[in-house]
A and B are shown apart, each in its own frame.
Chain A
Amino acid sequence: MFDSLTQRLNGVLSSLRSRGKISNADIENTCQEIHRALLEADVALLVVNDFIEIIRERSLEVLPTLQSGTNQAQAIFEIINAALVEILGAQARRVRFAKAPPTVIMLAGLQGAGKTTLAGKLAKFFADQGNTPILVASDLQRPNAVTQLQVVGESIGVPVFAPEPGNGIGSAVKVARDGVAYAKARQHNMVIVDTAGRLGVDEALMNEAIAIRDVINPAEIFFVVDAMIGQDAVRTARAFLDGVGFDGVVLTKMDGDARGGAALSIAHLTKRPIMFVSTGEKLTDFDIFYPDRMASRILGMGDVATLAEQAKKAFNSDAAAKLETKFTSGEDFTLEDFLEQLQAMSKMGSISKMLGMLPGAGQMKKQIDNFDDAEIIRAQAIVQSMTPLERRDLKVLNGSRRARIARGAGRAVSEVNSLIERFTQAQKMMRQMRGGTPQGLPPAMAGMGPMAGGMPRIQSPKAAPKKKSKSGNPAKRALEERG
């Protein structure tokens, strides 16, 4: 929706390139473009102004030493990027463990920020590293927050201390205190305390958070904040810092396409490190924070590395692996395989939306724009309206069955016919290919129209060849690498 900063700056700087020299007025123009781009990325106004000051100063210092306009334009980019990474990553550190266990981690934040899910993710992350965390249900406010935490804990095999039913009943402070005592008695080395969402302006609830803090003496308090938050980020972050206080920040819902400028505001104003990011609804959708990725994201240059990872996940999905096993073991390609492929492609489509943000993705973007998402959705609806028998054996599909399927999917019979036609083609192709490895485009792409020329290959320019790591968990691996 917004022009990326790269595009804006290219506009301003291209004229400079031909002239070869950058004047102070040019720098002012550039600063104005940065100003607008950062505001669209939700960086707080105050921070934008501070940031522009830094850029102006450094530009004025560096530019006169460079000769050509091209170099100067490049230098400005580098100055901006470096300044962003500097602010975002200055305080980077790992989680502090308490000298005497258990290490208590307390979560705090606004309503709906994603604390409960995050509690589960943190518990899993640390349990995978050999710790023995328990979860404590101190959100007694929101209806069934306690149940939610119990379900989450159960799914990852982490015990949940939940003596109170919640829904407004019980004392959050007492639960927290008892939870830590319980963990001590059972020799758990870590306690993660989920708390109710609260507003920065709600004094009573902020005092409750302070009371919880004072009885559990946490090694870390994390401020949990939605990556989609706007200008209010600074007011809220300040209110939490001045209220309960915090030692680190976790950004949630980073799997969306918000630029996440709030990260810059919070890091700059609170001088607290951003520790982790939460990137989806599954409990494994969690990573440590990378300042350089965040910097490109805020600049609208796309979070290349994360995109590449997500694309790889979508391509190498279970569906693909299963298909390959089936294929090599000599089984036939069924309509259900076809559907799974379509679904994998649909997921890929979600990623492709974000691809628009990538620099130099012009050609790729054209293909993506031609790619009709709705077509996949329609195909899905049709296959889902078939009975298992029909999916396995298309020969049973007489006119009345086809009419029923069309009704069920809310599509025309002709569309059902054409899908079956396409599937038959794909199946034929698969049968022909048997013997070779099914590389290249997924069979579901056969006859998919404009995209049939091949899926875009996503390559991260920065992706260095991966060293073999001790850990299979990407977040953990990165921690190892960071040292």
Chain B
Amino acid sequence: MGLFGKIIAKITGSADASAADWDELKTALLAADLGPELSNEVVAAARSVRAGSATEAITKALTSSLCNESREISRSISGPTVLLIVGVNGTGKTTSAAKLAAALASDDSTVLLAAADTFRAAAVDQLRTWGERLDIDVVHGADNADPASVAFDAAQQVIARNMDYLIIDTAGRLHTKNDLMAELGKVKRVVEKILPVQEVLLVIDATTGQNGLTQAKIFTESVDVTGIIVTKLDGSARGGIALAIERSLGIPIKWVGTGESVNDFARFDPAAYIQALL
């Protein structure tokens, strides 16, 4: 039983909960990185909600802070579906790109990967190793090639080969670097000359603190993020910042990473996530 469990056990019904109990509850939300704003909001909402128990009240409040957007990876109406994987350094983009490729391929779809991180040492090799393991082709360019041209190349190939999905891995970049954000915008625009980019998935490390909100905001300004992948949920971090992002920007969490192997990857299940949080 988590910290929440202890608290909930103490609070018998939401009407009977004392101020100290709610305080303790807020503490737990803060410790999960929901941030002061969302934590205050959730507690306030839970206090005013009609519920048989505090557990129910909190579950309701957390649930209503989620957005109503679909959590499915959307398919292009016609032609291949292009997914762009973006995020700051080291969050798990390459691993997630590979896991997602495997997940889509297991649904009987044909998937192509593109190694558009031409910057970090050995990043291309890393994705190619994944490709070999999964038996999925990886399009890549020369070292230090222009990432947009690698992506464009891959888009042409996915059309020519009449495949279902193209997943483009990109270099990690801090949102504060304008030139790198511009480069990312160019990758997207260049691909869009021949294929719509259906989804831009922002990879957020579950350990990320409040800076995650700023990251999501600026990545959205640059490339219009359509979904979140939360990684490293197998650790002790609860990834509450992703909820704060979903709440403040209305971008749905779509997939979660729970380990380093290809199968440690699942569709985001809000009810299960909230239950685990409690």
* Chain A residues packing against B (C-beta within 8 Å): 1-2, 36, 39-42, 44-45, 110-114, 141-145, 147-148, 150-152, 155, 167, 199-202, 226, 228-233, 235-236, 239, 253, 255-259, 261-262, 281, 343, 346-347, 349-350, 353-354, 373, 376-377, 380-381, 410
Contacts and interface: CB of A to CB of B under 8 A. Distances in A.
Interface string B89-133: 111100000000000000000000000000111110110011000
6 contacts: A40-B35, A228-B209, A235-B237, A236-B236, A346-B179, A347-B177
A444 to B, nearest CB: 15
B31 interface: yes
Given A114-B90, A228-B88, A354-B176, A1 B217 contact: yes
B212 A228 contact: yes
A261 B27 CA distance: 17
B208 A373 contact: no
A105 B205 CA distance: 27
A42 B210 contact: yes
A350 B205 CA distance: 23
A347 B92 contact: no
A257 B182 contact: no
Given A39-B36, A112-B205, A261-B209, A253 B174 contact: yes
B89 A111 contact: no
A231 B232 contact: no
B41 interface: no
B260 interface: yes
Nearest to A37: B36
A61 B17 CA distance: 37
Contact of B36 (A40, A167, A200, A281): A40
B33 A112 contact: no
Contact of A167 (B123, B129, B178): B129
A258 B182 CA distance: 21
Contacts of A231: 30-33, 209, 237
A231 B27 CA distance: 11
Given A199-B234, A258-B211, A112 B91 contact: yes
Given A145-B122, A377-B182, 16 more contacts: A45-B27, A110-B235, A111-B92, A111-B260, A112-B91, A143-B126, A148-B123, A152-B121, A226-B90, A229-B209, A231-B33, A256-B175, A257-B176, A281-B119, A346-B182, A373-B178
Contacts of A350: 176-179
Contact of A262 (B31, B193, B209, B214): B209
Contacts of A258: 209-211
A229 B177 CA distance: 19
Nearest to A200: B236
A39 B33 CA distance: 9
